[in-house]
A and B are shown apart, each in its own frame.
Chain A
Amino acid sequence: MSAADGTTGSGIGASLLRREDARHLDGRGEFVPDIRMPGTREIAFLRSPHAHARIRSIAAPPGSKGRVFTAADLPRIKPIRVVTQAAGAKSPPWPPLATDKVRYVGEAIAVCVAPTRGEAEDLANSIEVDYEVLEAAVDAPLVWRGSRHLIHESWGDNLYLERTIEGGDIEAAARAAEVTVTREYRMNRQSGAPLEGRAVLAYRDHRLDEVVVYASTQTPHTVRVALGEILDIEQRRIRVVAPDVGGGFGPKARLYPEEIILAALALELDHPVRWVEDRTEHLLTCAHTRDHHYKVTAYADRQGKVLGVDCEIIVDAGAYGLWPQGPYQEANMAGRTLPGPYTIPNYRARTYTVATNKTPLGPYRGVGRPGACFAIERTIDEVARAVGRDPVEVRIENMIPAGAMPYTSIAGMRYDTGDYPASVRLCAELLDMPAIRARQKQGEADGRLVGIGFASFTEQTAHGAAEFASRGASIIPGFESCTARILPDGSLVLMVGIQSHGQGLETTLSQIACHELGIDPSHISVRHGDTESTAFGFGTFASRSMVMSGGAVARASRMLRDKLCRIGAHLLQCDPAEARCEGGAVHGPQGSVTIAEIAKVAHLRMDGLPPGVDPLLDMTATYEPQISTGVFSYATHGAIVMVDPETGFIELIDFAVAEDCGTMVNPMIVEGQIRGGVVQGIGTALYEEIPYDAQGQPLAVTFADYLMPGAAELPAIKIGHMHTPASATEYGMKGMGEGGAVAPPAAIANAVRDALAAIGAEINETPLTPARVLAAIKKVQQAAKA
């Protein structure tokens, strides 16, 4: 295995090429639908066509007993229930198969088993359900106080949670303001849409007395916890495996009814059962994402220095809470992130997490941060315009200076290290801002308008116990684990509780072990995603794996190193203090012994071990960063757009990221994560939306209607790096996987604002479709006439 940059270093900082590539480039990836179990039957679901209805009766076709199951046929399945300690939160029970009521289009009502998927779908289509259709509650800002359309009757309203975050004195800021800017923003509902949908293969293993569940999930261990609770089976009799997973991005980090139902069916029917969701099912029933409404007022002085921000945030969370965290963190995160990288001294965020007759909302790359970033970064630009100054200058002047770190924001986020203003300057440099200003003065031959816009953000990563506890979570993903095992031949296996689904952790975690142990990555295997072979861990999400799992790998590797040195010193007959582990061997003052030789002694020749040292080279360690409030990456994104004022079409002609994630273990992989995230952010900015009509019908359920960016729509993404190591993590690493998706909507909307500055149109809703752009232009033109 070589390093991409031509060096032979394989430890921290090396752009080591990925070991995962070989199987994927050879067509030998193993995703859930690729796994073959003899006797497998295929599954299809009957799903509700109505957003809100009572089920009066369900009639399966004659002769279908044993092939069609409703909730009544699978009584062992208990409802999913998110448990939260957040004060005042409501949590609805969610029966995996609907019982008396359906609450969103796509909710599962019956499960059908057949030799092929086509036949299972035929069976589902032949079931007759008698519905009493009810009015759907679709408009979150209208319905949360809602008495007319209660989604969960026992609630009295449609509010999961109401929470206010405040600091300082917002009324005083309002009084002192020389400039007040108020705007409403909307980040519309969309899907995470990984290219591989969800899939589950479940079967009984009689030899091990287990039910085995292969799932395209980011969190196998916690899925096992849930299955154990809901099906009332001891976890030692459940195995969950996430093999290759074709993208996750957050929606696959939640428990789904289908996982429970498939496990229950495997137990009931005693033959393997397989469900591979199709794209319509995915767009209908895999977690929906984003869906925020903002009302923001910024108070500033006449220079544009922000004195205070007052906002209202509504999150449209859909009909049920996704286990384990439910919908509560979305509004919380948006509310606590909205102050951004700024020294805003007075703040209030009133947040409302609302139930509607829509698909449950789940996390997606950035979670609450893209919406909050959109809201604050658009507002900063509008403050600048209100005082007649350059948004770049006003942005920098409001930022927390590097010298003030660590800095606790007015919303209680403790930013650890970084130089936010420098990221703005670097980004402007990457895009050659003076050239764009000159180009704007010249104008374009085809009548289009060019604009440049920026957005900055901080990203809380690798947060641990304290942070999740403060959110009221009842499952606290505050650590990760690693078992590091050297085998009798000296090769190393790292068994970790995270789940790599594109992030290259099979490569990067081996780089950390290489750094600590001197074993080359070509002699290291990384095992992840399987509850059978790894100690408990939480999975991959929240930009946590490199820091948390990497930290655990570092600790376990150091424990191994210590034992290797003790045994090696004994074999070399030297003082352990003089032994060092390097380059695959332990070296003393007068000689060396290879790790392979030490491993042989530790397993096959234990008579060679020093007194007091047990056989085996097997260490398990956990890791939590020293600060559990998170380590903060940050970046500034910049976009250059060309807007066609006659059609509303936006072309993205350049995009740059100036970012800082501390120490990078593998710069090549970091850049890959940034670019991937940015393009998803561009998707949010320009293309992706699942609109709902007044009856609660989702209107984009195939890729014909749900548009995602393709290569032809995009420029190459430029990246500039800054390096401010974290002080509280191994090697100074920070998480960074989500950041790319956070700022593009704001940067692009600010660029469009700049392009249309002469016209004066603003678009404050994502995606910025041509229809919305033209409507915004028309609105200004009509107001001018009046």
Chain B
Amino acid sequence: MTAIRFRLNDIDHAEDVAPRLSLADLLRERHNLTATHLGCEHGVCGACTVLVDGMPARACLMLAAACDDRQIHSLEGLRDDPIIAALRDSFHRRHAVQCGFCTPGMLISARDLIQRGRAGSEAEIRAGLSGNLCRCTGYTNIVSAIAEAAQSVGAQGKTS
């Protein structure tokens, strides 16, 4: 067992974890934070994307043991985030959700694109979403929802 201290959704934790426990399973099974979904466990589909030290990362490829001294945010910890709020609103109005399984990872990746100023055009957004698979929507509405949220975030000068 490895002892780790980490900050999860802005709350400090100290725990012992088996080395082979992934961050995804730490979140889902230990902390009952089930917004982070597992679609492949080899880093391709993006459904498990969370923020590690503020940057998107695959929770399925991150060992919990390697999270010592790190800040982790899952979608549950971003409920008050203004960019996520803008995205929730635009995803809803643009019908960018169908089954919902890709949605948390998609929101976190989209937030990162907007925050880094990489959501300026359809082509840029599409390239930026290469690591988030969706099987239901065909992406058209997801792309326009992100473009819309980027506009509204830009207009309000809100970034966190």
Residues of A within 8 A of B (CB): 4, 17-18, 20-31, 33-34, 36, 118, 193-197, 244-247, 249, 276, 278-279, 501-504, 668-669, 671-672, 674-680, 702-704, 708, 710-712, 714, 716-717, 740
Contact = CB atoms under 8 A, between A and B. Distances in A.
A25 B107 contact: yes
Contact of B139 (A193, A704, A714): A714
A703 B93 contact: no
Contacts of A23: 100
Q: Which 3 pairs across A and B sit closest by C-beta, in order of nearness?
A: A27-B35, A246-B101, A24-B100
Contacts of A195: 37, 39, 45, 47, 99, 101-102, 133-136
B97 A703 contact: no
Contacts of B74: 27
A676 B99 CA distance: 11
A194 B135 contact: yes
A279 B44 CA distance: 11
Given A703-B42, A710-B129, A20 B76 contact: no
Contact of A676 (B104, B125, B127, B136): B136
Contacts of A675: 137-141
Given A679-B139, A711-B143, A29 B100 contact: yes
Contact of B135 (A34, A36, A193, A702): A193
A676 B100 contact: no
A21 B92 contact: yes
B136 A36 contact: no
A740 B135 CA distance: 13
Interface of B, helix, strand, loop or mixed by DSSP: loop
Given A195-B47, A196-B39, A704-B44, A246 B137 contact: no
A684 to B, nearest CB: 13
B40 A244 contact: no
B38 interface: yes
Most chain A CB neighbours (cut-off 10 Å) among B20, B91, B92, B140: B140
Contacts of B132: 710-711
Given A247-B136, A279-B45, 18 more contacts: A4-B93, A4-B95, A25-B92, A28-B35, A30-B34, A196-B37, A196-B99, A247-B99, A502-B136, A672-B136, A675-B138, A675-B141, A677-B138, A679-B137, A679-B139, A711-B139, A712-B130, A714-B126
A24 B127 contact: no
B42 A702 contact: yes
B122 interface: yes
Contact of B138 (A21, A27, A249, A717): A717
Interface string B25-55: 0001000101101111110110100000000
B92 A717 contact: no
A279 B40 contact: yes
B100 A246 contact: yes
B138 to A, nearest CB: 3
Contacts of B107: 25
Interface of B: 20, 28, 32, 34-35, 37-42, 44-45, 47, 74-76, 79, 88, 91-93, 95, 97-104, 107, 122, 125-127, 129-143
Contact of B95 (A17, A118, A702, A716): A17
A528 B143 CA distance: 30
B144 to A, nearest CB: 8
A716 B45 contact: no
A20 B97 contact: yes
A246 B100 CA distance: 7
Contacts of A704: 42, 44
B156 to A, nearest CB: 19
B88 A679 contact: no
15 contacts: A29-B101, A29-B103, A34-B28, A195-B102, A244-B99, A247-B135, A247-B136, A249-B135, A503-B98, A675-B137, A711-B129, A711-B134, A716-B143, A717-B138, A740-B138
A375 B91 CA distance: 38
Given A18-B97, A703-B42, A703-B44, A246 B37 contact: yes
A369 to B, nearest CB: 18
Contact of A669 (B28, B95, B99, B125): B95
A747 B134 CA distance: 22
Interface centre among A4, A502, A702 (most CB of B within 10 A): A502
A769 B141 CA distance: 27
Nearest to B75: A27
A655 to B, nearest CB: 10
B100 A17 contact: no
A702 B141 CA distance: 27
The residue in B38, B97, B127, B136 that gathers the most chain A C-beta atoms within 10 A of its C-beta is B136
A597 B133 CA distance: 49
B138 A676 contact: yes
Contact of A20 (B28, B93, B100, B122): B100
A717 B99 CA distance: 20
